[in-house]
Amino acid sequence: MSEPQHLDLHGNVFELPNYTMKEIHDAIPAHCFKPSTLRSMAYVVRDFFYCSTLIYLAVTYIPLLPHPALRFAAWVAYTTVQGFVFTGIWILAHECGHGAFSTSKRLNYIMGLIMHSFLLVPFHSWRLSHSQHHKATGNIQKDTAFVPHSRESWLARNFGSKAKQDMIEFAELAEDSPISSLWHCIVHQLFGWPGYLLFNLTGQSYGGAKGAKISHFYFGEDSVFFKKNELPLIVLSDIGVAVMIAALAVAGQLFGSWTVIVLWGVPWLWVNNWIVAITFLQHTDATMPHYDQKTWTFARGATATIDRDLGFIDTHLFHDIIGTHVCHHLVSTIPFYHAGEASIAIRKVMGQHYKADVKTPFWTAFWRNQRTCKFVEESEGMEGSGVYFFRNLYNRKGETQPLKLADGEKKQVGAEKEKPVTSMATAMSSEKAKRRFSQSAQLRANLPLLAE
């Protein structure tokens, strides 16, 4: 019998990285660490030039188109491209938050506040919590964004707090129908980003904290994110967002609410989409490990991310944030225009641990990972190792199966089977549940036996 090993969702063997951050730093050319204020500002001027040019072309020429269908198509094109530009501005503010925009801390803060406020992001609030994300990436106990579910928490979220892992019905109910998945993705994409800022969606539980204290806009001393000396910066960030909201309200009075919604509001929704999609795919993949506190190190966590490809959109409009994210997590102060060169350099040190998927189309990878990467747990035989990989309950061919239940839990299952009918079983046998069974009928012949 072979020795137990760490296995990702595809069944590939995973070995813990053993390189050091010194080796990473030594491999990167020295000039890559130095931001150029002039070059960074030139990108700001360029992106706002794109923004203003698009607005001018839209308001000047789209109303002149002779047919409503043509005007509608033109507005769709405008909002889509403007969404790319707005996202690029968001990413430049992100550079400011990491100190990669300029060697001047004051300039980083001024430009970051302006650009993020333009997009209703509280700059310092996000900067401070995002810093915690970088300090604890891949640590399931301390990371602050896209914290993965355990099997127990995933079942509780989807089926209620009384749901039990040994219910065999979950094998059929676990996989959402395509329509359900699509609806979840739409809501996730449009409102996931403001949901994170307002309600800490996908973040740590912070002991079950709720209400204002888990909001990025809250400046009380009981905030879960910020220290007392940081609260004035939170107030400043809120003022920046408030000023932008007031400016939008005034613009609505002067030019009409519909005009503001189309010129700014719809592109802003595109920003929400892109930020969530990009971040999700950077940290969610069948090959990505997560660690608990005892196994995690900065180097391991920083490389628990993956580079992808979005072609010209990423390299020109998104400032290469998608294609150089591994390097960004290792050394976040490297400006984006040097990150490509630095990424090539670090691959020599990282070897097999450098992860990139440039073959799978971006949205194909998004759809696949949304439907397969449901929760994390340790590989069979490696319990207690502190290394976790994504799993699901679908029993698909070629995928690593989740852990089986412990003997004690199996006995409990047997005891439950002797009961004539439970309230959960009754719910599962309802007409609604039967309809969902039919959507997963292909699984019936080969269910993952959670209760053997």
Q: What is the pLDDT of residue 447?
A: 37
Share of the chain residues as helix, strand and coil, in percent rounded to the nearest 5: 60, 5, 35
Q: What is the mean pLDDT of the chain?
A: 87
Domain ranges of the chain: 26-159+178-283+295-361
Query: Among all chains, which residue has been given the structure tokens 């900065």?
Result: 298
Residue 418: Cβ-neighbour burial (10 angstroms; 0-12, 13-18, 19+) = exposed
Cα–Cα distances (Å) from 439 to 155, 186, 402, 448, in that order, read 19, 21, 22, 17
Whether the predicted pLDDT of 441 surpasses 90: no
Whether the predicted pLDDT of 208 surpasses 90: no
CA 4 to chain centre: 31
Phi-psi region of 315 (alpha: psi -120 to 50; beta: other; left: phi over 0): alpha
With CA atoms as reference, report the closest residue to 116 among 203, 234, 237, 267.
Answer: 237
Are residues 300 and 291 in contact, defined by beta-carbon separation less than 8 angstroms? yes
Residues 6+ apart with CB under 8 A from 273: 83, 189, 190
Helix (H), strand (E) at residue 186: helix 178-199
Q: What's the rounded Cα separation, in Å, for the pair 226 and 386?
A: 28
At residue 152 the predicted structure's pLDDT band, cuts being 50, 70 and 90, is: confident
Provide the 10 A C-beta neighbour count for residue 127.
24
Whether the predicted pLDDT of 237 surpasses 70: yes
Q: Which residue has the higher pLDDT, 424 or 252?
A: 252
With CA atoms as reference, report the closest residue to 378 among 157, 124, 150.
Answer: 150
pTM, entire model: 0.86
SS3 172: helix
Q: What does DSSP assign to residue 214?
A: G
Whether the predicted pLDDT of 344 surpasses 60: yes
Are residues 414 and 42 in contact, defined by beta-carbon separation less than 8 angstroms? no
Q: Which residue has the higher pLDDT, 171 or 49?
A: 49
Q: 67-76, pLDDT tens digit by residue?
A: 999 999 999 9
Helix (H), strand (E) at residue 61: helix 37-61
Q: What is the pLDDT of residue 146?
A: 85
